[in-house]
Amino acid sequence: MIIRRATSEDWPAIWAMLEPVFRAGETYAVARDITEDTARTIWMETPAETFVAVTNNDVFGTYYIKTNYQGGAAHICNCGYVTAHRAQGRGVARALCEHSQDVARDLGYRAMQFNLVLASNVRAVALWERLGFAIAGTLPDAFDHPNLGMVDAHVMWKAL
């Protein structure tokens, strides 16, 4: 697996991963009917950097990194990760998160924060905790899950 900066040519493969995740509405706080153009802005244009995980020209994971706050808190970044369904359970999310922490340090960030990790996303919560992230707080009924109703969401944080 190679993790490299995403290019505009990667967008169709990235969108193929993002669209089913966004349409399901089970993990990301984006409109389930988000347009491809809006998703591209969120994933490719707004962040400081966007990366993809690739093997033999097959893009099967992606993440973005961006500044979470401005001013006195601009040293805290935020990332979002998606793994293609066909690659889940193979350590891709772990590799992306570890890579993102190195990139964050290189960009001068001193902490990473995940703003809305749903309590119902137990695999993600467990992985982030194994990678050293702590639950800084829990927002009750923060997310209207399409199958579970209102679920809590964690703010997770790690010093870099």
Length of the chain: 160
Shortest CA distance to 77 belongs to which of 40, 106, 36, 37?
106
Q: Where are the alpha helices (DSSP H) in the chain?
A: 11-24, 36-40, 92-106, 122-130
Give the mean pLDDT of 2-6. 98
Segment 48-76, tens digit of pLDDT = 999 999 999 899 999 999 999 999 999 99
- What kind of fold does domain 2-112 have according to CATH? Aminopeptidase (3.40.630)
Q: Residue 45 gets which letter from DSSP? A: I
Q: Exposed, middle or buried: residue 111 (CB in 10 Å: 0-12, 13-18, 19+)? A: middle
Q: Is the pLDDT of residue 88 over 90?
A: no
Q: What is the pLDDT of residue 144?
A: 97
Q: How far apart are CA 76 and CA 70, in angstroms?
A: 9
Question: Predicted confidence band at 135 (pLDDT cuts at 50, 70, 90)?
Answer: very high
For 79-105, what is the mean pLDDT? 95
Give 89's pLDDT tier (boundaries 50, 70, 90). confident
Report the first-to-last Cα separation within the chain, whole angstroms: 24
Task: Indicate yes or no: pTM above 0.85.
Answer: yes
**Which class for 153: exposed (0-12), middle (13-18), buried (19 or more C-beta within 10 A)?**
buried
What is the tens place of the pLDDT at every residue in 100-111?
999 999 999 999
